[in-house]
Amino acid sequence: MLCITSAGHNYVYGPGYVSDETKGLGKYFLLVLKSAAYVEIHGQKNEVGGGNVIIFGKEEKKIYSTKESELMSDWIEFDAEESFFEELNIPVNTIIPYGNVSQLSLFVKLIACELYSNNTYKDKSCRNLVEYIFYKISESINMEICEEKKKHYEVMSEIRARIYGMPYKKWSIADIAAQCFMSKTYFQHIYKKTFGVTCISDVINSRIEHAIYYLTNTEMTVKSISDSCGYENEVHFLRQFKAVTGKTPTEYRAEMSEKKN
């Protein structure tokens, strides 16, 4: 359950300000930046523009400082279950681009007013308002993911179709990435984000699927199947086939043959 301990709206800090790094240890800390600032995460100093939000974890020191003449921000200190962020797909200790934070700021203002009031239902009201803020952050993150997926989906789908259509090809991640005008690391990141599996996993699955077809529907030797599925040596094929299916190719063929009879 969410439990809000303190909140601040429209806090303005002058030149040279550095936050108290021990503040909020043991609690989560939501920082909504309205102006540029320096933010330290995992010991690394980052230059961050206004319109970004950061959720500091319970054990992360809350270190941020003025970049320009002044720093303007909203913040909320609170406690929550770790599963709360997992369910909403919100990363902790990460700079999250949000854009126009005026809507979030309005709700932080309401939380701050409610939190320090004597209202009967202030705790429940604050929880509801904080939940709303995190729902909006989650929606913003997922919208960005969808846009990125849409941008790359056609290209990634074409590559995946080729992988499954040509298991015999000697696939190289570096070559595929170059064809997409991407770095190897970025290509692997986008591919996994698009399909939920790595490109290498798809290459292996494609080869095993074709091997299963040959074992079930032809009398090709295991060596021939290994060659036809793009393996440079039979031992590598045997190892991967067993890792995926739990059986050797010969055992798999025998089992399928028994079922047919």
What whole-number distance in Å separates Cα of residue 35 and Cα of residue 72? 6
Residues 180-235: tens digit of each pLDDT = 888 899 899 889 988 889 999 999 999 999 999 999 999 999 999 999 999 999 99
In the chain, pLDDT over 70 holds for what percent of residues? 95
CATH 1.20.1050.10 is the classification of domain 166-261: no
Pairing of strands 28-33, 71-79: antiparallel
For residue range 61-81, list pLDDT tens digits in order. 888 999 878 899 999 999 999
Q: pLDDT tens-digit profile of 90-111?
A: 999 999 988 889 989 999 999 9
CB 238 within 8 A of CB 249: yes
Looking at residue 25, its pLDDT comes to: 72
Q: Residues of CATH 1.10.10.60 domain(s) within the chain?
A: 166-261
Residues with Cβ within 8 Å of 67's Cβ and at least 6 positions away in sequence, in order, are 35, 36, 37, 38, 47
Largest CA distance in the chain: 83
* pLDDT tier, 148 (very low <50, low <70, confident <90, very high otherwise): low
Tell me where in the chain the CATH 2.60.120.280 domain(s) lie.
Answer: 3-143
pLDDT category, 144, cuts 50, 70, 90?
A: low
The CATH code of domain 3-143 reads: 2.60.120.280
Answer yes or no: is pLDDT of 57 > 70. Answer: yes
